[in-house]
Structure 1
């Protein structure tokens, strides 16, 4: 299979490495504005994986030439932060061909729909399959030039859904060759709302803000950053997320239950479940508050969750509080111009019944 990986960050390198090691022909491309580690991968001729993915995988880097990367691709994996999805869609759109399968990995906030709209594709069409995963299949970091370390590879709790829903099983079968843990979701609402990052990262970051600023993140994010008080904040956010999912007719796992299913955690609770989790041991805090744990997980994902909640009549007092506090801490009014909303996805004003049918 020919696999094109779009992106140059931690997750993109892990995806490209694992699929290359599985024997697939892998190409990579990324915009010149954020090439990530692609120059290093090009110089090395591929990617070295360590940890739970081991070996050297040859990879062809085409830089910002998306046409060359996508030429002949069977599977296109779009791997990056939520705020990059539309840019990737615009770059890939002219080069997508009938029969291709695109997987936004992870989908975050209906990333499949955001990508499709940016690429100029309707949500419901049969020629090009657009799907999304609920989360990246790894905990991973680039540790040196063209070398990616995978701390943890998910054993479960990984869901996929395709727009229009009819192609979901076909996509699952394609991905299961490398990721056997992937299972079908009921719809892209399930994959979108199963994203647990807005539950975990903002609470731990905000309640440890002084420590992050004072030490430059020189502490263990989960082992030292999560306490009973932190856990109570996470639980309150999670209750609101689960209520949004129920209003849309889908069931999602609580964040600790997902962590146990994925193999990160041994305990299904919001404090020691994280602070003693084998999959989170040794992970340091970010070196600055200006980090995706706030800029993406609040500035994109949590704002999107709240927008959906308002549309389906679910109150979100804890999310409201975290959004406001993050805006004050970062001296940025994130709610003033959210990048991902129902309106930006063409869903504003739709009934709950129509939203459920997505």
Structure 2
């Protein structure tokens, strides 16, 4: 059994802490603020229900002290939005030890690259071994101040590491925790398998009026994915697949990955229609919409999903007009500059690296400095 530092106490962090604890692992749950942890202390643990089982999970530690959470941990697991990776790098840099395994659950698009670059920028000089999966291991929502419900545990998840030479060791460590992980060739492959970036920007941006008028009082995936919205998601997916082909990274259609992750039926996926796949998504059926555009479905899935894809596309010479349009629309709707503030090539450590040098870079990493 492993000692795991779970960093982040939102939906995913609570689900991971409860699930791993109830499966016999030693879990330390960290939050940057005490507010998410206080109800758990008062309740005596996290109540888990749903697809991963049920019970009261009493973790070894609930803490806002990051040093206490990560010291000696077999695995440091970040269950945080992609937008939080840079702040977490600043927090982690003084406490992470050389070679200590880090796992991004999820990594989204370019997460391992971004965290690696941010830790170096914060002055960390030790060996870095960072693994990621393409999307969160659970479909989950909190159902009370100290309770979480898991509606689906992904049965198959793309897994990769940066630098790539660490992938085998990290997979050996993570697989007992999450047997669904399947090794990929590189973090390009996991980054291109980010389902959230395919679906969420069209879903929320094309439903802006409904989101704001009802303050999220509708079923986001089921009612919000109409035939027209589904066609835009399919168009984003075609651009993603073209980018993957140009980069030499294996990729499957969104509907097939959605099926493989346990979110829709084989029959619905076989139609090739995202609209139909969403209509048959039992795991997502009852999830309500965000109440506004001030949400990770925009800030994360545009700025740290679509933006890095379009940055990779520029490196590869692949046109992405639908993705670019959604980035522009998101900026106009929110007043934010996602091109400036999102996950750029420079923030992933890829500035100046052409497509010919990417493979070597992904395997070996940047030129490493002496281990502190």
The 8 Å contact of residues 135 and 196 in structure 2, kept in 1 or not, is answered as no
TM-superposition CA deviations, 1:279-306 (whole Å, max 9, x none): 2211111111221111211122211111
Q: When the two structures are superposed, what TM-score results if normalisation uses the length of structure 1?
A: 0.93
The 8 Å contact of residues 46 and 57 in structure 1, kept in 2 or not, is answered as yes
TM-superposition CA deviations, 1:98-128 (whole Å, max 9, x none): 4521101111122112222332389xx9954
Matched, 1:344 2:339: no
1:259 deviates by 0.8
Cα separation, 1, equivalents of 2:88 and 2:336: 25
Matched, 1:64 2:67: no
Q: Aligned in 2, Cα 1:316/1:63: closer, same or farther, shift over 3 Å?
A: same
Query: 2:370 maps to what in 1?
Result: none
Q: Which runs of 5+ in 2 are unaligned?
A: 363-372
Query: 1:18 maps to what in 2?
Result: 19
Of residues 35-44 and 315-324 in structure 1, the stretch that sits farther from structure 2 once superposed is 35-44
Q: Secondary structure at the match of 1:225?
A: coil
Q: Secondary structure at the match of 1:289?
A: coil
Q: Which runs of 5+ in 1 are unaligned?
A: none
The 8 Å contact of residues 218 and 285 in structure 1, kept in 2 or not, is answered as yes
Cα separation, 1, equivalents of 2:127 and 2:142: 35
Query: 1:210 maps to what in 2?
Result: 209
Cα separation, 2, equivalents of 1:41 and 1:110: 32
Query: 2:174 maps to what in 1?
Result: 175
1:227 deviates by 1.9
- The structure with higher relative contact order (CA 8 Å, sep 6+) is 2
> What is the aligned-residue RMSD (CA, Å)?
1.9
- Show the 5 A alignment for 1:133-282: 133-156=133-156, 158-266=157-265, 267-268=268-269, 269-282=273-286
Q: Aligned in 2, Cα 1:44/1:199: closer, same or farther, shift over 3 Å?
A: same
Of residues 163-172 and 79-88 in structure 1, the stretch that sits farther from structure 2 once superposed is 163-172
Of residues 291-300 and 185-194 in structure 1, the stretch that sits farther from structure 2 once superposed is 291-300
Query: 2:357 maps to what in 1?
Result: 354
The 8 Å contact of residues 114 and 349 in structure 2, kept in 1 or not, is answered as no
The 8 Å contact of residues 29 and 69 in structure 1, kept in 2 or not, is answered as yes
Cα separation, 1, equivalents of 2:128 and 2:45: 28
Q: Secondary structure at the match of 2:47?
A: strand
Aligned length: 352
Query: 2:310 maps to what in 1?
Result: 306
The 8 Å contact of residues 45 and 59 in structure 1, kept in 2 or not, is answered as no
Q: Aligned in 2, Cα 1:76/1:176: closer, same or farther, shift over 3 Å?
A: same
Query: 1:80 maps to what in 2?
Result: 80
TM-superposition CA deviations, 1:27-54 (whole Å, max 9, x none): 022323xx56223233334322111131
TM-superposition CA deviations, 1:259-285 (whole Å, max 9, x none): 111111112221111122122211111
1:64 deviates by 2.8
The 8 Å contact of residues 159 and 182 in structure 1, kept in 2 or not, is answered as yes
Query: 2:292 maps to what in 1?
Result: 288
1:60 deviates by 3.8
Q: Aligned in 2, Cα 1:96/1:19: closer, same or farther, shift over 3 Å?
A: same
Cα separation, 1, equivalents of 2:172 and 2:275: 36
Q: When the two structures are superposed, what TM-score results if normalisation uses the length of structure 2?
A: 0.89
